[in-house]
Amino acid sequence: MVDGIVTMGGDGTIHLAIQHLVGTDLFLGHVPFGTGNDIARALGLGTTWESGVERLLPALEEPEPTALDVMKITGSHGTRYGLAVLSAGLDAIVNKAANGYRWPHGHARYLRAIIAKLPGYSPRTYRVDVGGRTNTGDALLVAVANLSSFGGGLTISPESDGEDGVLELILAKPLSLPEFLSVFPKLYKGRHLEADSVHQYRTDSVVIDTVGEGVTAMVDGEEVGPLPVTVTVLPRSLRFLC
């Protein structure tokens, strides 16, 4: 009899596994060995394989999985599940670029992608529906968070914990380069939410679309598909050893 599975890798490895585990009785255990390891970081597993094994082995002796919320993402791609953060702005473009680099390792890969993509990036116009209310406007960053971080340790949504049955929508208005350089360092501690240009909304469902040029959404560091997408929380639908 199989009670669960254990993966070793990064956020993308977890993402692949949960596509088959959401809504089942099987649990997921994980040993971090990836680039960003944001899911492992948020769930207290550490960011190295040594710390992951140290925490996993005792948990496997008498498994008591935590029931985590999951994001259900629907659109022209079909249905996908996400655990950490869905990106649909500059954040998605940076994520996609970082996936194409072979160096450097870890968070520095995302910094390289930001340096490469930010200067030529033009904010898109988005149509966002939250709670039946639709708003249209330009944005630099658009993210939906179930867990707290992405990009190898950027705390995009410090209030997200994965067990509260809600999601956090983070929107950042277009910024000049000096404004961006002022706000970006605050992401490491989650203090960017103090900026007037950044807004957070708590919701159980959100629809994100663009006006004009399309954008490809990313989740858990992996490509999902083009906007529009509908993101809905599925409370306590994944059993995770954390």
DSSP codes, the chain: ---EEEEEE-HHHHHHHHHHHTTSS-EEEEEE-SSS-HHHHHTT--SSHHHHHHHHHHHHHS---EEEEEEEEEETTEEEEESSEEE-SHHHHHHHHHHT---S-THHHHHHHHHHHSTT--PEEEEEEETTEEEEEEESEEEEESSS-BTTTB-S-TT--SSSS-EEEEEE----HHHHHHHGGGGGTTGGGGSTTEEEEEESEEEEEEESS--EEEETTEEEEESPEEEEEEEEEEEE--
Q: Which pLDDT value is given to residue 135?
A: 92
Q: Which pLDDT value is given to residue 106?
A: 79
Q: Which pLDDT value is given to residue 61?
A: 86
Considering the domain 73-235 in this protein, what is its CATH number? 2.60.200.40
Spans in the chain with pLDDT lower than 50: none
Q: Which pLDDT value is given to residue 99?
A: 87
Instruction: Report domain extents, the chain.
Output: 4-69, 73-235
Q: Which pLDDT value is given to residue 40?
A: 95
pLDDT digits (tens, 9 = 90+) for 223-240: 999 999 999 999 999 999
Q: Which pLDDT value is given to residue 136?
A: 95
